[in-house]
Amino acid sequence: MPDKSLRRLVLDGRALDYELERKAVRNLNLRVRSDGSVHVSVPRFTPLSAVESFLRANAARILRSVDRAAARPTPAPPADGARVFVWGAAATLRLRQGGRPAADCDGRSLTLTLRDPADAAALERALARWYRREAEETLTALCRRLYPRFAARGVPWPELRFRRMRSRWGSCRARAGVLTFNTRLAELPLSCAEYVAAHELCHFLQPNHSPAFYAELARVLPDWAARRRLLRRWEADLAE
């Protein structure tokens, strides 16, 4: 199981809090998430001194990314007429007042019926519920379509979970048999969602990101690299 801890290091005179995760990887990996948090994954027995040297060597890049995340404006709450994305296609958010909450999407517009359309918190909850339903239905179908390849390798059908995540599109707990997907995948093109589903399923065969893992992924999705590049572009656009 991965070993996670929160640590602090002074870089160029600034205190940096970061999450250190020790797991079955071959290299030291660094990620500054969209919220400015810093995550470092390292091979299990890497000395802390080596981790800190790695961070110091990348201090300028880390601090620049952290500052950029801090300067990013907080997204405005959705409102009538706002642009939203549904499986990669732009749609117009329409709000209606009604006694019974409802949602409908015709491809060009996403219409939410609310008791009080001016209630921003209720609107965000309704929008999140709609995306969750979309993600559950579509990701479940994608996993079922991909699953026969993994069933043939002895992988039991996993438990699928869905929630809004800030920094990951999906995760796999191989020992527990659980896949978790970010409900915001319903905003991205379907090819990106299929890439995430295949990626996480492949972790049942290879619980790492070794060459063997990517070989497994290539057997399922030969164009996985192009899909990952598309996912990264969408990830950057949605963060703006």
pLDDT in tens, 160-189: 999 998 778 999 999 899 999 999 999 999
Check whether residue 231 and residue 147 sit in a common domain: yes
Task: Assess if residue 33 is contained within a domain.
Answer: yes
Check whether residue 101 and residue 190 sit in a common domain: no
Check whether residue 29 and residue 58 sit in a common domain: yes
Note down the domain range covering 229.
134-239
What are the pLDDT digits (tens) for 194-240?
999 999 999 999 988 899 999 999 999 999 999 999 999 998 777 65
List Cβ<8 Å contacts ≥24 apart for 34-43.
Answer: 34/69, 34/72, 34/166, 34/167, 34/235, 34/239, 35/69, 35/166, 35/167, 36/65, 36/66, 36/69, 36/70, 37/167, 38/62, 38/66, 39/167
Q: Which two tokens stand for residue 5?
A: 């801890």
Task: Assess if residue 77 is contained within a domain.
Answer: no
Check whether residue 102 and residue 168 sit in a common domain: no
What are the pLDDT digits (tens) for 89-134?
999 999 999 888 899 999 899 999 999 998 988 899 999 999 999 9
Report the number of distinct structural domains present in the chain.
Answer: 3
Q: What is the CATH number of the domain that holds 161?
A: 3.30.2010.10
Q: Which two tokens stand for residue 186?
A: 């319903």
Is the entire prediction scored with pTM above 0.85?
Answer: no
- Tokens 């007429």 correspond to 81
CA 29 to CA 36: how far, in whole Å? Answer: 16
